[in-house]
Amino acid sequence: MEWIKSIRLMTKVEAIKKVLEDNGGIATWEIIYNEIEKYYPEAKKSKEWSAGIRGVLYKEIKNDKSFKKIDEGTYSLADYDINKLVLSPKDLITTKDVLTAIRIGQSQFRKKLIASLKKCPITGINDIRILTASHIKPWTQATNHERLDISNGFLFSPTFDRLFDRGLISFSNDKSLLVSNTFSEKILARLNLKHNQIITDLPIIRREEYLEYHRSKIFIRS
């Protein structure tokens, strides 16, 4: 079957493009990391595989090719329409305007989430000055309805917001904590986390589909 031999494997750039296309032209690092192997099977063979992927993407951006940076940890195809990221798009909007509009929308979301949930379900902290509204399905991937839907969020204290946002922890629908295998047991002990521990106060009802998205797209298992 000579035709099989003639099939050309994708480059890393082409693979990243495909991942972005699959996700509407935009994705976070976590989505790229989780899905690139579909198109570039060798992506994670080296010890520094994630740095290699980042290096390829950064080089393309530096040379004004293929991709653009939207915000910290979020990248899109070069021709992506950034107006899609705001609740009320307007003509000739700049990237700075987009980020400002997103943060205003996120502030509205946070107020609604605080009124509903009131505390971090892991630490029990209820001081709103330090609580962070964490989207389960990221703002960049969500519809306008999902962006302001309080079922698409949790309130976390800063450390756990960071862990959840970066895909280092997630949750099953029975409130079990899922922890990335990239963590050492020593770090887990310092964070006072255990695989599969039950987070009793975690609000699950109406968040099941959003959590499925987070587990499949954002959570980095290994």
Render 104-167 in DSSP notation, one character per residue. Answer: HHHHHHHHHHHHHH-S-TTT----TTT-EEEESS-GGGS-HHHHH-GGGEEEE-HHHHHHHHTT
Residues 6+ apart with CB under 8 A from 193: 169, 177, 179, 183
Reference 34, options 188, 111, 110, 138; nearest CA is: 138
Residue 23 phi, psi (nearest 5): -110, 30
Structure tokens at 59: 């080089």
Q: Does domain 2-80 have CATH number 1.10.10.10?
A: yes
pTM of the model: 0.91
Residue 112: burial class (beta carbons within 10 Å; 0-12, 13-18, 19+): middle
Domain parsing of the chain, residue ranges: 2-80, 84-218
The answer to whether the CB of 70 falls within 8 A of the CB of 26 is yes
Structure tokens at 163: 């862990």
For every one of its 222 residues, what pLDDT tens digit does the chain have, with 9 covering 90 and above?
444 444 568 999 999 999 999 999 999 999 999 999 999 999 999 889 999 999 999 999 999 899 999 998 999 999 999 999 999 877 657 778 888 889 999 999 999 999 999 999 999 999 999 999 999 999 999 999 999 999 999 999 999 999 999 999 999 999 999 999 988 888 888 988 889 999 999 999 999 999 999 999 999 998
